[in-house]
Amino acid sequence: GYFETEDQARDAEVRAKARSQSRSRNAAVTVEDFRFGKTLGVGSYSTVKLATHLASARVFAIKVIDKGHLIAKKKQQTALAEKDVLKRLGAGHPGIVRMWYTFQDQWCLYFVLDLAKNGEMKILLNRMGSLSLECSRYYSAQLVDIIRYMHSKNVIHRDLKPENLLLDADFRIKLTDFGTGKVLDDDVDKANTWVGTAQYIAPELLSSKETSKATDFWALGCIIYQMISGRFAFQGLSEFLTFEKIKKLEYSFPDGFDESPKDLVQRLLVRDPSARLGVGPPGSEIDFDALTSHPFFASIVWEMLWTSQPPALE
């Protein structure tokens, strides 16, 4: 036969088997590997569906993007940005939706994502009005921790808002929607034409279309204000009037707004991006300690933020 000895034949067989096993282990994941379930949400260019990975029985959220739609709506750049940014962030932080696989067929792109079982923070806020000080503190701290990680990877999100803060099975934050995310090559991104969501837009975007890491800090201030007070920091009767208020820093705290978060919000909602708490002049590293050591966070145990039990929702 082909082989000199039986041993050689057996060796060859073992090697062939190992090769084929490793091939199937590395084999590309396809749409056939999942059973699709209910629709979790519909975005401007995608539908997100519950899906079970058949071999492992693990449940994911799969973002299904129709290619025709993508082209018709000129959203190719958004989808690419989302994929690039999520790849770059990898599995590095428990508070960021992880992208496990991507694949495509003739019609669609598929992004296989961590499932955030409890949906959007926005819906929680709509339902509850506002959150207790304890909950607001916890979610603010999680958001600070996520931004710290993101910025360490040179990624800015640029569209932080309660809609994009998803909640996992334990009601911890999973940040999503990196379609407007940006990997910074430089400190400041000048050539951008993108505009985010009216109520959370930083003044520098309205005046000069410049974004930097400080842009995410503005949105953080808006979100902390909203969780505690149950209303937007900046809200006019129209988008235009909302922008006017942002430019003039026209907002006020309702009676009873606790002093320490008030101080924090006032240090974040500052017109000059470099004057926001922890930011500093262009070119300097963000000083996250200035944020994490703010009195509002005094009771937060940062090392346990993602493992300790979240406070009861109230």
Q: Which residues bind ligand ATP (CB under 6 A)?
A: 40-46, 48, 61, 97, 113-116, 119-120, 166, 176-177, 179
What is the signed CA dihedral for 99, 103, 104, 108, rounded to 10 degrees? -20
CA distances from 246 to 239, 255, 275 (A): 11, 21, 16
Q: Which is nearer to ligand ATP, 165 or 246 (CB)?
A: 165
Q: Which is nearer to ligand ATP, 48 or 246 (CB)?
A: 48
How many residues belong to the chain?
314
Q: How far is the CB of 119 from ligand ATP (least distance, A)?
A: 6
Q: Which is nearer to ligand ATP, 114 or 204 (CB)?
A: 114
Q: How far is the CB of 142 from ligand ATP (least distance, A)?
A: 16
Is 159 assigned a catalytic role?
yes
Nearest to 199 by CA among 159, 147, 141, 166: 159
Q: Which is nearer to ligand ATP, 40 or 147 (CB)?
A: 40
Give burial (CB, 10 Å; 0-12/13-18/19+) of 72: exposed
- Round to whole Å and give the CA distance between 101 and 41: 19
List beta partners, residue 49: 39, 62
> What residues contact 255, with CB distance under 8 A and at least 6 apart?
none
Residue 155 and residue 89 in contact, taking contact as beta carbons nearer than 8 Å: yes
How many C-alpha atoms does 106 have within 13 Å on its Cβ side? 0
Q: How far is the CB of 107 from ligand ATP (least distance, A)?
A: 16
- Amino acid present at 306: W
- Round to whole Å and give the CA distance between 301 and 97: 23
Q: How far is the CB of 63 from ligand ATP (least distance, A)?
A: 6
- Amino acid present at 199: Q
Q: Which is nearer to ligand ATP, 176 or 229 (CB)?
A: 176
Of 7, 66, 105, 159, catalytic = 159
Q: Which is nearer to ligand ATP, 116 or 268 (CB)?
A: 116
Q: How far is the CB of 39 from ligand ATP (least distance, A)?
A: 8
Q: Which is nearer to ligand ATP, 40 or 222 (CB)?
A: 40
Q: How far is the CB of 170 from ligand ATP (least distance, A)?
A: 14
Q: How far is the CB of 12 from ligand ATP (least distance, A)?
A: 46
* Catalytic sites, residue numbers: 159
